[in-house]
Each structure stands twice: as C-alpha cells, then as structure tokens.
C-alpha cells in the first residue's frame, strides 16, 4: 500500500530509486515519482508520472538528473485520484523539503487548515502534502529535530522519508504503523518499505519499530525515539538471493510463485522445528480460548488451521476476520491466545487487532513470511513460513506454506497435549514430506488446466464448492479468480448450496467442485449431482483413480492421492493455476490487478 525508497551514497540516486520502485510496485501502482537533490546546484528535482514505474522510466529516459541523495514513491491512492499533482514526492512551498509517505494522516484536515491560515498553498488533495509544509513551517535548523516536532503533530499510520536542500547529506525516516526498513550498505545507505527494494545492494537491514526515527547518512545510521532518545538496534542479515525478486523466465511473478511451491512447502517443513515452537506450544496448550485472525487468503489458511488444531489438539478455535475481530466485544481472559496470520506481517487490520488484544491481556502469536515485519516484532511469539518474497498481489506460495506451518503447529500441540500418538504424528509427518513431489505432479498438468481455462474464460460467474477442510479451499479458489480476472465468483460449503446458491445454477454457470477422495466424498458427490441435474457445468478437482467422478463432471483435474487432512495443500494448487490461466487469457495484469495492493497498511 504505497512503496517508498530513499537512497544516499556514492551512486547516482536515479537508477537506484527506479530499481527499488520496480521491486516495490506490487505495493501500489497508480502513479510514481522521484525527488533527487541535484549534484551541482543542490536543488530538489521532482519528476512524477501517472501509471506504472515503466511510465516513469520512459518519462525520465532523456532527462539527465544526477544526484547522490533522493526519494522514490509508488502510490496506491487513498486521498485523491491518481494524478500527477497527487503523486508523491510532495515538496514544501519553498521547494526545500521533499516527502514520500505510506499510510494515512488522520488529522490532515485539521493540520491543513492551520497551514492554510498561515498562508501555505496546497497543490494536491493528499494528506501527505501537509507533512511537507509542516516540515518547512517548523524547521528548526536541524532536520532531525524538526522530525521530532512534526511526529508529535501527526495522527494516523505512516512511514515517511524526508530530504531537504538545507541539509543535503541526510535522509530522515519516520515510522509509525507502516513498515520502514533501513538497508545498510558500504558508503551508502537506504530506506525502504520492504527488503526486495534494495536487495541488489545489501543484505543487512535494520527494521524500525513504531515511534522510531532514523537519521540516515552516507556513512552512518542512527535511530531515535520520537522524544529524542537514541536507540541501539541489532541489524539482521537476509540470505535471499536477488533472483527471488526476479521472474526467472516466467511470464509473471504469480506464475513463478505458483511453480515455486514444491520448494517453499519443503523449506517450510524443514524450517519448522519443535525447539523453536516449544514456548508457543506451551502457551497455546494451556489456552482456554484460541482465536485465529487474518484477512484475505491468510483468513482462508486460518479456517483450515482451525480444522487441524481442533482435530489434533482438541482445542476449540474461533476464526475471525481481523477487521471484524478488532471492533467486536471479544472475550479475553488471562489464558486467551490470539494467533494472527499475515504473509506480509504488515496488514493494518491484523496488526491493530492483535495489538488491541495484547493490551487487553491476550497472549499473541504471529505467523508471517516477512522476517523483521511489524507483526513479528509486536507479538509474544512468531512462527515463520519460508517462502522468500512474494511479489504477485495474489497470494499463492505463502498460502500453502501457511497451511504447512499450521499443520505442523497443530501436530506439535497434539503431541504436547497427548491428543495424538507419536505413531500418528510420524505417519502424518511422513505423508507431509511427500507433498512437494505431489505438488510437482499437479504443476505438470499446466497445459490441461490452460485448455480448461480457455473453455470457461467467458463465463461471467463461477461457483466454488467444497466440504469440511476443503471448504476454505473453495473460498480461496473464488478469491483467486475474482481478484485477478475480475470474474464474479463465490465460494460455498457444498452442503449449503441447496439453501440458496442453487438458484443461480443454469447451463452457463461453471461450478468448481473440490472433491478429493476423503471421508466427505460421497456427500460432495451428491452435491455435484444436484448441480448436474440443473445443467451446471461441473469442473471437479478429484483424486487420481476416481473414474466415477468423470461421469458427472464436464472437466476433471486429477491430483495425487494423500491422507484426508493433507488434501487442502494439494486441492488449492489447480485452483491457483486455473485462475492464473483464465486471467492471463483475458489479458488481465495478474501481478498487479486493478484496485489492489499487496500489503494493505490502511484500515
Ligand atoms: O499480508 P497478509 O497475509 O496479511 O494479506 C492479507 C490479504 O490482504 C491478502 O491475502 C489478499 O487477500 C491477497 N490479495 C489474496 O490473494
């Protein structure tokens, strides 16, 4: 939800900023811009474009801008339409201060009025422009001191980068609510919303916490609290190679990420260890109540996790959308545990709901993919998935990795509570180890799935049905399809279809049925017959060897056989592939679908 980058160092800032913006484009892509302090006359040059980073690149093609300090921004509009005026960076009236911002300034109207009364003129409709004018209005002769004062006046969530012609040897970064990391280089340093933006130049990072301000110079980085106290922070090192942020021969990041799943599932199994999870298992073991909260695809992982935790550990679990959980009258006792699932670890709804629950006395756990993310630092315990960066806006590899982590966690809990035997634990674990090669098998059906996509790409609505542990997979299949192809799709528990959605079914309606050969097979088989009896087009995801389902389906995508609880990790893969192919055949931008952003850092 907006991406920011800042550079100071020996190189020309322009290509570094553009490279970083390309890596951050998944966060927002309706307009972009850079601000650079020119090398010779020390003035701030600002260049912006509506559209994607490539439009900004083309716009900059023949411009000879050179400077060693600058800021860049890719926008996901909140206040004001995507126009050049509303694009960032925003510059103060005298042109001495430039700002990039990710987040929302909640009291901007009040601040704007004060500034208007003082004679400041606004060029944009954004909340961000007030920050630029505030810096100029308050400027004390020291950019860092000014940042302390400005931060006191701002309400809301923000990550801000500031440069000034008054002090062209420094960038100031401010974090509250939205992510901001510092990349540590040699004779150069960076600020950015996310690691991939600067992975080309460094693998060493500091993650700012809320309420921290960074003073970043070419050869030093200092961190302070907003009341001016210096903070010592431990840098962390990432082992990812820069290629994880490249398409590696695939047409889209989403396609690459779908095909990476055998590895990311394997890495998540290997990365999970009983010793690392011991404390959180102890915490949950004694819980009287476990809530799992999340948004979007992570919410669907939570729904599957509920089945596993209840089955293997016999702990009752309540799953809620984070945005709903935050504002309801939840019941939190001293043994309540809240687990937040978030790929990015930055989703505002999930973060703030967890922080609220923590304040009320709940113990908190996060399951995240991004190391050093806000959620991982704000919760009592953290569980990781090991996927490397996920760039495509549609979550794919992180979903299956979340499932693996939740399953392993449920098994650990079950062992600790004595609700499963060691034999069962080992058996399930061994079956899990075979999942990566089974995913490979499904991925090899790409041509078949593309042909099916071709036959159904013109449908205007889809229904996805599943039962029990595969019901959340139906929800996930529908979400994938609608977010990247813009086709209306709904996920339903198959047994619920007869209570309403069956009225929608006619010969034009494709119904995707998640029907593996598990203990609910007979039930969903009957539901499929009900669809067929109403002339619906049935696309089944079924287990290899199931010839019966062919007789009542228009299309069947076979997946390898596994044990009942593990099916969701397999059944979701063909649904991801189907959505991907339908969307690309329709000519949609699957990596950057309209109106969406990878990380939603506003409420
Ligand atoms: O980073 P998070 O897992 O917290 O993100 C949650 C949702 O915003 C995310 O899953 C979203 O629904 C994706 N676009 C789904 O593909």
Cα of 6 vs its chain's centroid, Å: 22
Q: Ligand 1 centre and the CA of 443: distance in Å?
A: 23
pLDDT category of residue 365 using cuts at 50, 70 and 90: very high
**Ligand 1 pocket residue status of 323, Cβ below 6 Å:** no
The pick from 27, 253, 298 for probing ligand 1's pocket by mutation, whose C-beta has the most ligand atoms within 8 angstroms, reads: 298
Which residue would you say has higher pLDDT here, 278 or 339? 339
Above pLDDT 70, what percent of the chain? 99
Please write the tens of the pLDDT for every residue from 129-150.
999 999 999 999 999 999 999 9
pLDDT at residue 477 is higher than 80:
yes
> For position 177, what pLDDT does the model report?
83
> For position 76, what pLDDT does the model report?
78
> For position 26, what pLDDT does the model report?
76
Task: Assess contact for 185 and 203: CB atoms under 8 A.
Answer: no
pLDDT category of residue 239 using cuts at 50, 70 and 90: confident
Bridge partners for 236 per DSSP: 205
**Ligand 1 pocket residue status of 295, Cβ below 6 Å:** yes
Is residue 270 included in any domain, yes or no? Answer: yes
Q: Token pair for residue 36? A: 């650079």
pLDDT at residue 242 is higher than 80:
no
Burial of 80 (C-beta count, 10 Å sphere; 0-12/13-18/19+):
middle
Are residues 172 and 283 part of one domain? no
> For position 190, what pLDDT does the model report?
98
Using the structure block, give the residue that is written with the tokens 């609505």.
Answer: 461
Q: Ligand 1 centre and the CA of 385: distance in Å?
A: 15
pLDDT at residue 371 is higher than 90:
no
User: Which of 433, 467, 497 is at the close of a domain?
Assistant: 433
Are residues 153 and 30 part of one domain? yes
Burial of 230 (C-beta count, 10 Å sphere; 0-12/13-18/19+):
exposed
**Ligand 1 pocket residue status of 394, Cβ below 6 Å:** yes
Is residue 155 included in any domain, yes or no? Answer: yes
> For position 207, what pLDDT does the model report?
92
Q: Token pair for residue 338? A: 């809240």
> For position 24, what pLDDT does the model report?
86
> For position 568, what pLDDT does the model report?
98
Are residues 160 and 208 part of one domain? yes
Task: Assess contact for 133 and 92: CB atoms under 8 A.
Answer: yes
> For position 240, what pLDDT does the model report?
74
Please write the tens of the pLDDT for every residue from 187-234.
999 999 988 899 999 999 999 999 999 999 999 999 999 989 999 999
pLDDT at residue 501 is higher than 90:
no
Q: Ligand 1 centre and the CA of 394: distance in Å?
A: 7
Are residues 476 and 400 part of one domain? no
pLDDT at residue 58 is higher than 80:
yes
**Ligand 1 pocket residue status of 412, Cβ below 6 Å:** no
Is residue 596 included in any domain, yes or no? Answer: no
Is residue 601 included in any domain, yes or no? Answer: no
Are residues 183 and 327 part of one domain? no
pLDDT category of residue 277 using cuts at 50, 70 and 90: confident
Are residues 420 and 287 part of one domain? yes
Please write the tens of the pLDDT for every residue from 24-44.
887 777 889 999 999 988 999
pLDDT at residue 83 is higher than 80:
yes
What CATH number does residue 12 fall under?
Answer: 3.60.20.10
User: Which of 244, 278, 300 is at the close of a domain?
Assistant: 244
Decide: helix, strand or coil at residue 539: strand
**Ligand 1 pocket residue status of 597, Cβ below 6 Å:** no
User: Which of 186, 215, 244 is at the close of a domain?
Assistant: 244
Q: Ligand 1 centre and the CA of 600: distance in Å?
A: 8
Instruction: Supply the residue whose CA is at minimum distance from atom 4 of ligand 1.
Output: 342
Is residue 452 included in any domain, yes or no? Answer: yes
Across residues 110-125, what is the average pLDDT?
94
> For position 599, what pLDDT does the model report?
79
Query: Is residue 89 reached through a cis peptide bond, with omega within 30 degrees of 0 on the bond before it?
Result: yes
User: Which ligand 1 atom sits closest to the C-alpha of 295?
Assistant: 6
Task: Assess contact for 99 and 131: CB atoms under 8 A.
Answer: yes
Q: Which ranges of 253-339 does DSSP label H, i.e. alpha helix?
A: 253-259, 261-271, 274-285, 296-308, 322-325
* Active site positions, annotated: 2, 598
How many structural domains are present in the chain? 3
Average pLDDT along the chain: 93
Give the residue from 300, 304, 334, 298 showing the smallest Cα distance to 317.
304
Q: What is the domain range of residue 85?
A: 3-244
Is residue 144 included in any domain, yes or no? Answer: yes
Spatial distance between the Cα atoms of 186 and 10, rounded to a whole number of angstroms: 9
Please write the tens of the pLDDT for every residue from 285-301.
988 889 999 999 999 99
Instruction: Supply the residue whose CA is at minimum distance from atom 9 of ligand 1.
Output: 296
> For position 122, what pLDDT does the model report?
92
Q: How many CA atoms lie within 13 A of 262 on its CB side?
A: 11
Are residues 345 and 233 part of one domain? no
> For position 19, what pLDDT does the model report?
93
Are residues 296 and 404 part of one domain? yes
What CATH number does residue 349 fall under?
Answer: 3.40.50.10490
Are residues 469 and 560 part of one domain? yes
> For position 358, what pLDDT does the model report?
95
Is residue 159 included in any domain, yes or no? Answer: yes
pLDDT at residue 527 is higher than 80:
yes
Instruction: Supply the residue whose CA is at minimum distance from atom 2 of ligand 1.
Output: 342
Q: Ligand 1 centre and the CA of 156: distance in Å?
A: 22
Are residues 425 and 311 part of one domain? yes
Across residues 108-133, what is the average pLDDT?
93
pTM of this prediction exceeds 0.95: no
Are residues 173 and 32 part of one domain? yes
Across residues 515-529, what is the average pLDDT?
95
pLDDT at residue 437 is higher than 90:
yes
**Ligand 1 pocket residue status of 576, Cβ below 6 Å:** no
pLDDT category of residue 355 using cuts at 50, 70 and 90: very high
Spatial distance between the Cα atoms of 77 and 486, rounded to a whole number of angstroms: 20
> For position 313, what pLDDT does the model report?
95
pLDDT at residue 6 is higher than 90:
yes
pLDDT at residue 245 is higher than 80:
no
Is residue 92 included in any domain, yes or no? Answer: yes
The pick from 28, 296, 390, 485 for probing ligand 1's pocket by mutation, whose C-beta has the most ligand atoms within 8 angstroms, reads: 296
């Amino acid at each position: 939800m907006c991406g920011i980058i800042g550079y100071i160092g020996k190189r020309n800032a322009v290509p570094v900023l553009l490279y970083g913006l390309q890596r951050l484009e998944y966060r927002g892509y309706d307009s972009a811009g850079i601000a650079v302090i020119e090398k010779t006359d020390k003035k701030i040059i600002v260049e912006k474009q509506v559209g994607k980073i490539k439009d900004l690149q083309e716009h900059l093609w023949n411009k000879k801008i050179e400077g060693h300090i600058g800021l860049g921004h890719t926008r996901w509009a909140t206040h004001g339409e995507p126009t050049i005026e509303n694009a960032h960076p925003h510059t103060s009236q005298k042109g001495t201060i430039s700002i990039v911002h990710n987040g929302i300034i909640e009291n901007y109207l009040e601040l704007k009025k004060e500034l208007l009364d003082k004679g400041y003129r606004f060029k944009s409709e954004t909340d961000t422009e007030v920050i630029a004018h505030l810096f100029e209005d308050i400027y004390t002769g020291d950019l860092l001191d000014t940042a302390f004062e400005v931060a006191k006046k701002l309400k809301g969530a923000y990550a801000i980068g500031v440069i000034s012609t008054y002090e062209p040897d420094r960038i100031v970064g401010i974090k509250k609510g939205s992510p901001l990391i510092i990349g540590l280089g040699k004779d150069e340093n960076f600020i950015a919303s996310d690691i991939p933006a600067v992975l080309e130049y460094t693998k060493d990072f500091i993650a700012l916490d809320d309420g921290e301000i960074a003073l970043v110079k070419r050869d030093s980085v200092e961190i302070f609290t907003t009341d001016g106290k210096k903070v010592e922070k431990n840098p962390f090192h990432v082992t990812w190679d820069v290629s994880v942020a490249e398409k590696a021969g695939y047409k889209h990041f989403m396609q690459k990420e779908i095909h990476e799943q055998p590895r990311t599932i394997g890495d998540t199994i290997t990365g999970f260890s009983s010793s690392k999870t011991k404390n959180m298992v102890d915490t949950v073991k004694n819980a009287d109540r476990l809530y799992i909260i999340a948004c979007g695809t992570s919410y669907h992982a939570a729904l599957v996790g509920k089945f596993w935790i209840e089955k293997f550990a016999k702990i009752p679990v309540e799953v809620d959308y984070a945005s709903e959980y935050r504002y309801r009258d939840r019941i939190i006792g001293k043994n309540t545990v809240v687990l937040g699932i978030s790929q990015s670890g930055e989703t505002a709804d999930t973060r703030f709901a967890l922080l609220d629950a923590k304040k009320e006395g709940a113990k908190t756990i996060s399951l995240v993919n991004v190391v050093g993310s806000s959620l991982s630092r704000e919760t009592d315990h953290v569980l990781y998935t090991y996927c490397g960066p996920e760039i495509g806006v549609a979550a794919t590899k992180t979903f299956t990795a979340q499932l693996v982590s939740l399953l392993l966690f449920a098994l650990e809990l079950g062992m600790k509570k004595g609700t499963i035997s060691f034999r069962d634990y080992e058996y399930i674990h061994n079956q899990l180890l075979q999942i990566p090669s089974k995913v490979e098998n499904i991925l090899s059906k790409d041509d078949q799935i593309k042909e099916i996509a071709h036959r159904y790409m013109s449908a205007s609505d889809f229904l996805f049905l599943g039962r029990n542990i595969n019901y959340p997979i139906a929800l996930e299949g529908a979400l994938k399809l609608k977010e990247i192809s813009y086709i209306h799709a709904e996920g339903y528990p198959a047994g619920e279809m007869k209570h309403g959605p069956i009225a929608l079914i006619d010969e034009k309606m494709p119904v995707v049925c998640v029907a593996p050969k598990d203990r609910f097979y007979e039930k969903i088989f009957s539901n499929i017959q009900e669809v067929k009896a109403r002339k619906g087009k049935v696309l089944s995801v079924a287990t290899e060897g199931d010839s019966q389902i062919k007789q009542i389906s228009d299309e069947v995508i076979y997946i390898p056989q596994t044990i009942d609880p593990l099916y969701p990790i397999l059944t979701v893969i063909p649904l991801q592939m189907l959505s991907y192919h339908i969307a690309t055949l329709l000519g949609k931008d699957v990596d950057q679908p309209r109106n969406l952003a990878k990380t939603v850092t506003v409420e």
